Chains A and B, each alone.
Chain A
Amino acid sequence: MNKGKVATKKTVPTAAVPVETKVVNNKKSTPIAVSEPKKSTPIAVSEPKKSTPIAVSESKKSTSTPTTVSKSPVSTITTQTLGKRTKFPVVRDEKEDDEEKLDFGNIDLNNYNSEDDEDYESDGDDEEEDEEEEEGDINGVQYSESEEEEEEEEGGINKALLEAEDSLVEYQSEDDSGSISSKSSSSNKKNNDEEEEVAPNKRWTNDPNQFYDSDDSSEDESLVNRIGNVPLEWYDDYDHIGYDVDGNKIMKTESMKDSIDKYLDQQDPNFWRTVYDKVNDKKVILSDEDMALLKSIQNKHFIPGYDPYADWYDSGNNHPDSIHPMHNAPVPKSSFFPNGTDEEREIRRLTKAIRMGWIKLNRKDRDGQNKQKKEGTFDLWADEGEEKEKQKGIRRISAPKQKLPGNVESFNPPEEYLLNENELKAWHLMDPRERPHNFIPQKYKSLRQLPIYNKLIKERFERCLDLYLCPRTTRVKQFTKDPTKFLPTLPKPQDLRPFPSHEEIQFLGHKARVRSISISPNGQWLASGSDDCTVKIWEVSSTRCVYSLEVESEVQTVAWNPNPLYNILGVGYSNKIIIITPPLHGVQSEHSAETEKILTKPATDSTTEQQQNKSVNWYQVTGADKAVLLEKGVRIEIHHPFTVKNLTWHYKGDYFSTTSPEEGTRSVKIHHLSKRATQSPFRKSKTPNQVTRFHPNKPIFFVADQNIIRVYDLMKQELIKKLITGCRYISSIDIHPLGDNVIMGGYDKKVCWFDLDLSVRPYKVLNYHKMAVRKVIYHPTLPLFASCSDDLSIHVFHGMVYDDLLQNALIVPLKILKTHQSVNDLGVLDIAFHPKQPWIFSSGADSTIRLYTN
């Protein structure tokens, strides 16, 4: 800065030379000037390539010193750029203007050169300025080649700038010492020749760093006056125009001049190209380059020396001075492609997606959407639907949205939400889960006063847990149109023939409801007991009633002795059991020896039998008064204290069991026919037992009370199993011929199948009947079982039990037989399977017995 002042002060006296004279001077000096550039150009062309960045940096320092002075005058940007660009054409001028001697610049140069010769001191200044200008030139080159972005980066290099300024100060001190030549020689060569040699070097180097630094220096120059963007009028009344970077006043020079001084300035030969820098309040003499640039702008030419079609060469790899490349690998092809911007990558992704069919182009729709979007209204949730459609695989439900805070959550809730004391007490008494919200609403004057919400993290964590632990995949409900698909695959009933399928014949003759039926072991006879107080025996094949016995009251139960050798029928009515040997083969005909044997009264047992059970008495039917009964085959009467409801024979035919539920705890009795003995095995049973059954081939006894079936081992006299039926009132049980399965029917409409090997709970519960189930039975030989109910229906099932223990029983509903008629809400009271044929007999409240056959 100081130097600039000095320079201007120095230049002032030398200036003010008429233009014409200058031209003349120029002419004289041209040959020298012309010749020099010619020499220099070839070198200049070659040299820049060799120059290394380091060398450039040195040159910076050296060159930067004068810059402040030369570049400062133009404050505005345009002038700056002007200044920068001017330099290039100037060089060209130097080269080419050999011939065009009329050219401005040449004259200037010559003039200048001549001046150099004449006045060394001033020359020195000028020289410095020249240097500056040349460096500016370089800048210009740099600007033109490396695009203008770098201009903006200049700010980033301010530090370097400052350093440069420091160095500048140093140089200034050097300058002050007066060794200008030494300074210039130290950095660049002092001689014009050399300078001009150096200048082209710089011009042609493409090393950007070099330009940056030189650029910085030019920036420095423009910032001599540091008043900033303050109107200059404010300084009108002062002596100074502003402050330099050190805060020193910049004194007015030009504006303080009076008209005489101005006039004197006009005498300066460079006056015509002197412009006034208002900010720095000094005059700047435009260099030849500036002039040339201005001229080319006026003529609308390219900036002289700028080759718009210059060859491009790689600055990176092939340094002109490096003989060998760093590596010998061929340049990869990909390096020639611009290395994808984001946009390019996006395009690549989209094209691939389109190619793979992930994105379907539907231009019309898109256009439509675009239009909609353009129209300004848009569907906020439109994308959500699309997203759902796009999703494949598991369809996840988005996390349930949390409830938006309401008035209660407000920091300033309305009064009605605040809790009064009572409510507060109630709140604390309340179970945390019952509370409407998990905080006590409170009022704050401002949001600022709202304390930290302590539960936040816990709540968030719990919500995260909820979201994480609860799978939110949408489960697509599969509505099957065919409801039969839900049914288990069972064999068709047609494949499970034979089974009773239709009513074949009826046995007519009873006058009241037939409570009980039983079929003889060979299937030839059917016994029935009825409320008309008769026991009848029917020949099955002819449906003829071959025997009828009238008793004192309603017959509760009839049961054929299962042993085919015996022809014995047990009948229970009121509190009596009678053992009948029905005279089926004629009244006088003999019974089989076995029958007689078992019915013969043992000689000695009368006393013991009484001891065993006093409540039960056996009576042999004898005597003339009982002749009628004898003729009817009644052999033994057994008197019980209470009504006998059920009678069951052991499979060998020697034992039978009766139940009389009214007797309560001792309802079950086991009678030994050949010994005429009666036992009541259970003395402590809590509930009255309803039904009993003997195991078909083992000494096992089944006793059912109202809701539990107990299985006893008769040999060990212990309880083996307890079948939990889940039924409220058992009506009937039956044991599978193989002995491992039990069916149970209850008055609560249930039929349960128990697999004794499997569980004490039902293997299958069949809830098919609409009214109380009266009887369930197994077929003795075929895989059938049946249940009958008060709803008039008999359900026939296929109940296959496999020898393989691993295989569960197969139960298939086969047929509903419904031909009985209802009388007093009673339907089918008893059923019995034919021992060999797939026939089922049923007796009903309508006093008929029906036979259903296959």
Chain B
Amino acid sequence: MESENKNNNKKNKEESKVKVKFITNDPNIRVTDTPIAVPVRLGRLGLSEVIHHLREEDGDKDTSKPFDFLINGKFIRTTLDKHIKNANLSEEQIITIEYLEAITEPKREKECQHDDWVSCIDGSNFGLVVSGSYDLGVRVWGFDGELISTGTGHLAGVKSVSWINDKDSENLSFVSASLDKTLRVWNFNRSQSEIKALACLKEHTGTIESVDVSPDSSRIVSGSMDSTIKLWNISEIPNQHATGNTTTKKRRLGNGEKAPQQPEIIHNITESLASVSVPNNCQGVTVVNWTTQFQMLSGSMDSKIRLWDIGSLVVNDTISTPAPLTHLDYSIQSGLIITAHKDKIVRVWDPRSSDASKSQTQSLISHKTWVTSVNWNPSSKYHCCSTSHDGTIKYWDIRTKIPLYTIDTLEKSKDKVLASSFVSNRNNNINDYSIVSGGSDSKLRIHYNDKQSIEQQE
């Protein structure tokens, strides 16, 4: 390394240099902020070496970490001079380069076998992952990949799952949506490690493609191929699994015979809190997502993102996209929407933009075919991951058009990745998330990022 550095330095001595100042948000890797003259020929690697060199002076000996560099919020992907040229920066002034630890591909992954294709995952709660599969079951997995419990009761493949964000860490509940046109609310008792169905929500006339729980955990929204969006009130669902009689008088009791695998009597809720038909023949709602407590998003096959006001259930705004939507996610941190489309492209939208045509901020083109799911990294304003029918998972920083890394374990087997989610580290470090994915290989894969793997090894 050092010899290389020297060589580089020797070479660069004859070349033009530019004064740069390195800054970073991470205190662990901070270096001096006095301007340094660096050769303009340097690229990412060269700059990383510069940082390593500076840090060696500070006594840090870990020189293996690569860094990523940003100038005014843009990643340096070419050499410094080209970037300066493209960004129309002046070489005379001191350039402030922000650097951060490069995000590298997860080295380790855990495979969790299902009986059939994994169609949906949610890992947003307590380091637990819930997955739905075409084998009709819903499963809860621990962060390490151990199967905690399996719940059955759906009559057809599960299309979507979502944790109901309870405060109670022992009695968790989640909702699943299925091809059998019903939603089911499940209770997961951590201590008992079992899943019990709480209620069955039946009103949709088509397969339910997507379900989401409001941030205050009071309502469930479901989007269906019958072009309707329905709101369900969680408070009507008993928190605890009730044996015998139900407590709700208003609701008609379901017949236990309908679900022979679930001997317990569960609530059959056949009336939603509110139901709205998506106008203009949307050809089926494929995704619903809460943004705030009062607003939600829906994406449909007619290539439109609609922003709904929950109170009046009217469409506040419509964003027309070029292709049918398969999935979308809203980032609370940045307020941006990321959408997955059937034209291979992942797009980033800013719903706050007044002009609908300008609301697209970024399009990320790397997938080879349909994108199935997109998810924001809950800890980041910029990072997100996407999955596709081409069998890859791509991790993006929306400031650059090139994915930070691609997980392509399924690409060769021609299996499809159908769902992905971020799962928090089990020690609940908020800023530390791993990607969970599932696909047509019938496996849930947890892609642990480096830190966790290191911790594991330790």
Contact = CB atoms under 8 A, between A and B. Distances in A.
Contacts of B326: 541
Interface stretch (A12-20, A584-592, A683-691): A584-592
A542 interface: yes
Nearest to B179: A585
6 contacts: A505-B370, A542-B440, A544-B157, A586-B136, A586-B180, A854-B323
Given A524-B225, A544-B134, A544-B157, A504 B179 contact: no
B272 interface: no
Contacts of B117: 542, 544
B207 interface: yes
Interface of B: 117, 119, 134, 136, 154-157, 178-181, 205-207, 209, 225, 258, 260, 281, 283-284, 286, 301-302, 323-324, 326, 342-343, 369-370, 372, 389, 416, 418, 440
A546 B369 contact: no
A589 B181 contact: yes
A839 to B, nearest CB: 9
A191 B207 CA distance: 160
A837 B324 contact: yes
A522 B301 CA distance: 11
Given A522-B225, A524-B206, A544-B157, 7 more contacts: A505-B389, A541-B286, A546-B179, A585-B207, A586-B178, A836-B283, A837-B283
Contacts of B179: 539, 546, 584-586
B369 A504 contact: yes
Contacts of B181: 585, 589
Contacts of B178: 586
A524 B178 CA distance: 14
A584 to B, nearest CB: 7
Contact of A522 (B154, B284, B416): B284
A853 B286 contact: no
B431 to A, nearest CB: 33
Contact of A589 (B119, B155, B369, B372): B155
A189 B326 CA distance: 148
Contact of B440 (A544, A592, A837, A854): A544
Q: What 3 A-B pairs have minimum CB-CB distances, sorted nearest first?
A: A586-B155, A586-B180, A586-B156
A522 B156 contact: no
Nearest to B209: A541
A522 B283 contact: yes
A543 B416 CA distance: 9
Given A523-B301, A837-B324, A588 B155 contact: yes
Interface in A568-589: 583-589
A584 B206 contact: no
B45 to A, nearest CB: 37
Given A505-B370, A544-B117, A854-B343, A524 B284 contact: yes
Contacts of B258: 588
Given A542-B119, A584-B179, A586-B156, A837 B301 contact: yes
A780 to B, nearest CB: 12
Interface string A535-569: 00001011110100000000000000000000000
Interface of A: 504-505, 522-524, 539, 541-544, 546, 583-589, 592, 836-837, 853-854
Contacts, number: 75
B205 A592 contact: yes
Contacts of B209: 541
A584 B181 CA distance: 10
Contacts of B284: 522-524
A524 B300 CA distance: 13
Given A522-B283, A584-B207, A853 B342 contact: yes
A543 B117 CA distance: 11
B12 to A, nearest CB: 46
Nearest to A542: B418
B283 A523 contact: yes
A592 B181 CA distance: 11
A542 B416 contact: yes
Nearest to B225: A524
Contacts of B180: 585-586, 589
Nearest to B439: A542
Given A589-B156, A836-B301, A505 B369 contact: yes
A562 to B, nearest CB: 16
A585 B156 contact: yes
**Which residue of B117, B156, B343, B372 has the most chain A CB atoms within 10 A of its CB atom?**
B156
B207 A524 contact: yes
A583 B136 CA distance: 14
A542 B389 CA distance: 8
Contacts of A539: 179
A565 to B, nearest CB: 9
A592 B207 CA distance: 13
Contacts of B342: 504, 853
Contacts of A584: 156, 179, 207
A524 B227 CA distance: 12
A584 B156 CA distance: 7
A587 B225 contact: no
A150 B185 CA distance: 145
A288 to B, nearest CB: 131
A837 B416 CA distance: 22
Given A543-B416, A546-B157, A853 B343 contact: yes
B370 to A, nearest CB: 7
A304 B419 CA distance: 145
B226 to A, nearest CB: 8
Contacts of A524: 206-207, 225, 284
A505 B368 CA distance: 10
Nearest to B368: A504
Contacts of B323: 854
A131 B156 CA distance: 159
A586 B136 CA distance: 9
A761 B416 CA distance: 49
A851 to B, nearest CB: 10
A623 B304 CA distance: 48
Contacts of B154: 586
A546 B179 CA distance: 10
Contacts of A522: 206, 225, 283-284
Between B136, B154, B283, the greatest number of chain A beta carbons within 10 A of the residue's beta carbon is seen for B283
Contacts of A587: 155
B404 to A, nearest CB: 26
Contacts of B225: 522, 524
A519 B208 CA distance: 19
Nearest to B227: A522
A587 B136 CA distance: 11
A637 B370 CA distance: 39
A587 B155 CA distance: 7
Contacts of B136: 586
Nearest to B342: A853
Nearest to B323: A854
A126 to B, nearest CB: 139
Contacts of B302: 836
B149 to A, nearest CB: 21
A552 B284 CA distance: 36
Contacts of B281: 836
A583 B326 CA distance: 24
A845 to B, nearest CB: 21
Contacts of A853: 342-343
Nearest to B258: A588
Contacts of A544: 117, 134, 157, 440
Contacts of A588: 155, 258, 260
Contacts of B157: 544, 546
B176 to A, nearest CB: 13
B262 to A, nearest CB: 12
B224 to A, nearest CB: 11
A688 to B, nearest CB: 39
B197 to A, nearest CB: 15
A854 B372 CA distance: 17
B156 A504 contact: no
Contact of B370 (A504, A523, A585, A586): A504
